[in-house]
Amino acid sequence: MEQITQKKLYLVSGRVSEPLAHEVADLMGEELGEPNLAEFSNGEIHCKFSESIRGSDVFILQTHCHTEEISINDALMEQLIMVDAAKRASAKRITVVCPHYGYARQDRKSSGREPITAKLVANLFKGAGASRLIGVDLHSGQIQGFFDGPVDHLTAMPVLVERLKSLEGDLAIVSPDAGRVKVAERYSIQLGADLAIVHKRRSHTAFNTVEAKEVVGDVNGKVCVIVDDMIDTAGTICAAAEQLKEKGAKTVWAATTHGLFSGPAMERLNASPIEKVLVTNTLPLPEGYNADLIEVLSIAPLLARTLQAVFQDTSVSEIFGGDHLS
């Protein structure tokens, strides 16, 4: 008599991404697994799954960021430890789900004697036992090639575009620099909006400092939306917004997938001409953020559909109509 094996999905999360993971699990009709993460007195992280995952299709969700309770390196290490635990517990397939992929901006050598840390992170996941990687709006598309296995590169664009459709007035999508023009163009096509570019120059004397120089395109009297994959210290976004207002923009919004909001970001945004910042919940927001300024959109439905497609071995591209690669 032929034995039929039932596939089993097991979703588990690190401590940083628990709220998002619970939302995803609810949408999928699954129970969120318990990894029993704990720290020893010396700071070492320990993990032990509460139930057998032998033969399971395991999805380990963790975003890489710094919070008041945990550093970005601990968040990454936590995910790696869970991958190793799943491998040693005889999981059939292990997929790492990284709503925000850490060290993504270190994707190449810009000068001598520098690391390519984004590649190192991919190597660590593979070495720990991951067989697949899912990321959302990676800082550069080339990171897909860093992981030696299947990579599903998702985009939060459908979520942000749906919200932006409610804007009234003559709309212009703005790329904050030349490197994001391709993404901005996709937004402009989907929204039927004009495209503009802010030319920027990074300071050679001050680290992580940006000077916006000029605007390419007509923004006078228009509702301008600056689109980018992330807002870190908000220097790029705020400098661009000031340039747009100087060129006669009626209103300035910002739309981004990853809201890191490091250092002086909140202070800069509150003092800037930006009226609204749309951001997804790939990252937890800092306490005390300005809820009138920052609007959070959920990517949980997007992740839930993707995880279900991967589990059922169906197409992920069809979720986005084939328009999710960059």
Question: Which residues are catalytic, by number?
Answer: 200
CB atoms within 10 A of CB 182: 11
Is the Cα torsion angle 73, 77, 79, 80 positive or negative in sign? positive
User: Rounded to an integer, what distance in angstroms lies between the CA atom of residue 124 and that of residue 137?
Assistant: 20
**103 φ/ψ sector (left φ>0, alpha ψ -120 to 50, else beta):** left
User: Rounded to an integer, what distance in angstroms lies between the CA atom of residue 39 and that of residue 46?
Assistant: 6
* SS3 (DSSP) at 112: coil
Contact 44, 77 (CB under 8 A): no
Query: How does DSSP assign 67-111, residue by residue?
Result: -SS--HHHHHHHHHHHHHHHHHTT-SEEEEEESS-TTTT--S-SS
The CA R_g of the chain, rounded to the nearest whole Å, is: 21
Contact 234, 227 (CB under 8 A): no
Tokens (6 digits) for 223: 């509702």
Query: How does DSSP assign 248-274, residue by residue?
Result: T-SEEEEEEEEE---TTHHHHHHHSS-
Contact 174, 225 (CB under 8 A): yes
